[in-house]
């Protein structure tokens, strides 16, 4: 799946229970972090056609970051860094696995390559996740998933005053929230007005 989908799915996991801003960031990032292994694309492109070609993207994308060992490292970090420890660690672990699942169902490359997930690395490469029905990275299914997630994220921003923008800037988040509330009314006023 694409980074926006991973981010929105991570954000959904982060809002499954009430967490504070830092813990929401941890759970959301856990849903994106497997793709850190994709940064090898930069040296690979830079060295393409030279005498010292590096195949770090070809060799390591969906390998280094997409396995149970790394998931446990991420959950461990979440347990150390999070405030709501068991909940944040568990949701970070779940968020990470939603990323893997998303890649299995919808990340077929333009060349048709399935990018199987070697779940038990580095201990074994026996168990590789893949699915015959896997759709392409740019297939309609990914849009069909992105649009409701985006609509829900906007609703949550309007209702609860938080969005994934808070990961980078609370000011950007607040600007979005007030724009939505100017347009659609302030849900806090609505709640207060109910029953009168
Ligand atoms: Zn991935």
Inter-residue contact 133 to 114 (CB < 8 Å): no
For residue 4, report the distance from its CA to the centre of ligand 1, in Å: 11
Token pair in block for residue 153: 């994220």
Look up the pTM and report it: 0.89
For residue 30, report the distance from its CA to the centre of ligand 1, in Å: 11
Residue of 48, 30, 5, 29 lying closest to 166 (CA atoms)? 29
For residue 56, report the distance from its CA to the centre of ligand 1, in Å: 15
* Res 68: pLDDT: 96
What residues contact residue 71 under an 8 Å CB cut-off, 6+ apart? 93, 96, 97, 100
The secondary structure element, H or E, covering residue 128 is strand 128-129
Please, which pLDDT band fits residue 196 given cuts at 50, 70 and 90?
very low
For residue 50, report the distance from its CA to the centre of ligand 1, in Å: 28
The answer, yes or no, to whether residue 2 has pLDDT greater than 60, is: yes
> How far apart are the C-alpha atoms of 22 and 28, rounded to whole Å?
10
What residues contact residue 77 under an 8 Å CB cut-off, 6+ apart? 26, 92
* Res 155: pLDDT: 97
For residue 194, report the distance from its CA to the centre of ligand 1, in Å: 45
What residues contact residue 58 under an 8 Å CB cut-off, 6+ apart? 44
For residue 66, report the distance from its CA to the centre of ligand 1, in Å: 7
For residue 186, report the distance from its CA to the centre of ligand 1, in Å: 37
């Amino acid at each position: 799946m694409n980074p926006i989908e991973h981010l929105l799915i991570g954000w959904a996991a982060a809002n499954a229970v009430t967490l504070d801003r830092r813990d929401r960031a941890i759970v959301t990032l856990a849903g994106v972090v497997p793709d850190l292994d994709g940064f090898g694309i930069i040296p690979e492109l830079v060295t393409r056609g030279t005498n010292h070609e590096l195949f770090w993207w070809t060799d390591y994308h969906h390998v280094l970051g997409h396995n149970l060992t790394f998931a446990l490292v991420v959950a461990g970090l979440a347990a150390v860094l999070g405030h709501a420890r068991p909940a944040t660690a568990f949701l970070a672990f779940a968020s990470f696995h939603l990323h893997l699942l998303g890649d299995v169902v919808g990340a077929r490359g333009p060349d048709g390559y399935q990018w199987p997930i070697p779940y038990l690395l580095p201990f074994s490469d026996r168990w590789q996740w893949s699915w015959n029905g896997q759709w392409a990275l740019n297939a309609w299914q990914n849009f069909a998933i992105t649009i409701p997630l985006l609509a829900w994220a906007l609703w949550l921003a309007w209702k609860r005053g938080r969005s994934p923008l808070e990961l980078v800037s609370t000011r950007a988040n607040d600007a979005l929230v007030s724009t939505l509330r100017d347009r659609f009314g302030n849900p806090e006023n609505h709640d207060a007005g109910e029953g009168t």
